[in-house]
Amino acid sequence: MKIFKIIAWILLIAFVGLQFIPTERNQSDVVPKTDFLLVNNTPQNLATLLKTSCYDCHSNNTEYPWYNKIQPTSWYLEDHIRHGKGEFNFNLWDELSDRRKSSKLKSIISQIENNEMPLESYTLIHRDAIFSESEKEAIITYMTNLKESLE
Amino acid sequence: MKKVSVTTTVLALAFISLTAMSCKDNKKENMDEDMHSEMSHAEEMEHDNMDSSNHMASNDGQRTNSKQIMADYMALKSALVATDQAAAAKVGNKMVGSLKSFDMGAYTEEQQTELKDIIADATEHAEHIGESEMAHQRGHFKTLSKDMMDIVAITGTDATLYQQFCPMYDGGGAWLSMEKDIKNPYFGSKMMTCGKVEKEIKSTM
């Protein structure tokens, strides 16, 4: 019995100790002039969809859930956000050339079409980030038109 | 008895805080590294170009030319024709290296700007081919092929190339080949001979 007590103590202390490790927070009040929604003047309904479903990991500003401050969740989120922004950052849209915009749009379209994005691990908790079939179609049409306008 | 458990607790605390501290340090280093890897491709490429032009003075082997990039592309195409995911991934990664160390010294400023843009795009597609499953590899190959055609339009080619086109793939997909015969990289054995020669690009060297 005693050994269990000690293990429980150690786990508890480890958990508490973890909380002192700082993480980088992805938050910014400034929306750069290069932002996708600004540059393309995206219609409000689509802009809301993109903000809800994509911007948490693909922009400079994440709306963190309440549990984000609890380790090891923060690490997990931090890693996801870093990777997401590395692939594509909506805030930096206009820094890309037309060629690269077109490539990004192609990836956006195919990933949404194949239900690869938003990630399941994300929609598991962010139920509002799931696109309905009609929303999916609206976004794909919008992105396709945008892509064609670049070519 | 109580004393023992108090001692254990204290020891455990000390141990954990030490671990936590060292974690912090590690983390910082990791973050620096990540920041580095987050540099935009364009920046990286500029670096690489600078590096390669520095090496240039003493060592010709450090830089690649359009011929090397084309050779990688053709190897990639063959892997896709054979529907060999692993081989395609390997060549994709190799091509990333060739693209990044491409030496543009011989081109005009205007051409260099264009080439940098194309190569930044092509690098990203090659990277994805290096880490994706077959269907994605083929999707990226389609855009990569377009990039290659645009590169050839600037650099010319030392071998005659055939621009081929298959209307069945994703609204139509083109690619480059050294041979006139059609071997379809988008479908492999499923539709090996689907496509036609759209254009012959004559050797310019």
Sign of the alpha-carbon dihedral angle for A70, A71, A74, A80: negative
A22 touches chain B (CB under 8 A): yes
- The pLDDT value given to residue B29: 38
Residue A74 confidence (pLDDT) above 90: no
Mean pLDDT of B108-136: 93
Euclidean distance between CA atoms B20 and B22, whole angstroms: 6
Indicate the pTM of the whole model: 0.74
Beta carbons of B8 and A24 less than 8 Å apart: no
Q: Report phi then psi at B164, rounded to 5.
A: -115, 160
**Residue of chain A with shortest Cα separation from B38:** A86
Among A26, A17, A41, A14, CA closest to A89? A26
> B-chain residues within 8 Å CB-CB of A110?
139
Residue B77 confidence (pLDDT) above 50: yes
Highest mean pLDDT among A9-18, B47-56, B75-84: B75-84
Note the pLDDT tens digit of each residue in A123-138: 988 889 999 999 999 9
Does residue B123 contact residue B115 with C-beta atoms inside 8 Å? no
pLDDT confidence tier of residue B5, bands split at 50, 70 and 90: low
Among B91, B93, B98, CA closest to B68? B98
Note the pLDDT tens digit of each residue in B128-141: 999 999 999 999 99
Euclidean distance between CA atoms A140 and A149, whole angstroms: 14
> B-chain residues within 8 Å CB-CB of A1?
none
> A-chain residues within 8 Å CB-CB of B118?
99
**Residue of chain B with shortest Cα separation from A5:** B5
A5 touches chain B (CB under 8 A): yes
Residue B62 confidence (pLDDT) above 60: no
Beta carbons of B120 and A103 less than 8 Å apart: no
A20 touches chain B (CB under 8 A): yes
- The pLDDT value given to residue B93: 95
Select from A21, A86, A103 the Cβ nearest to the Cβ of B143. Answer: A103
pLDDT confidence tier of residue A29, bands split at 50, 70 and 90: confident
Residue B60 confidence (pLDDT) above 80: no
Residue B9 confidence (pLDDT) above 60: no
Where do the structural domains in chain A lie, given as residue ranges?
2-150
Q: How many Å lie between the alpha carbon of A127 and the closest alpha carbon of chain B? A: 27
Residue B40 confidence (pLDDT) above 50: no
Residue B46 confidence (pLDDT) above 60: no
**Residue of chain B with shortest Cα separation from A92:** B40
Q: What is the mean pLDDT of chain A?
A: 89
Q: How many Å lie between the alpha carbon of A55 and the closest alpha carbon of chain B? A: 18
Evaluate the omega torsion of the peptide bond into residue A118 and state whether it is cis, within 30 degrees of 0: yes
**In chain A, pLDDT over 90 holds for what percent of residues?**
61
Three-class SS of residue B195?
coil
Beta carbons of B124 and A85 less than 8 Å apart: no
Euclidean distance between CA atoms A109 and A137, whole angstroms: 10
- The pLDDT value given to residue B39: 41
Give A121-125's long-range contacts (Cβ < 8 A, gap of 24+).
A121/A80, A122/A56, A122/A57, A122/A80, A125/A65
A14 touches chain B (CB under 8 A): yes
ipTM of predicted complex: 0.78
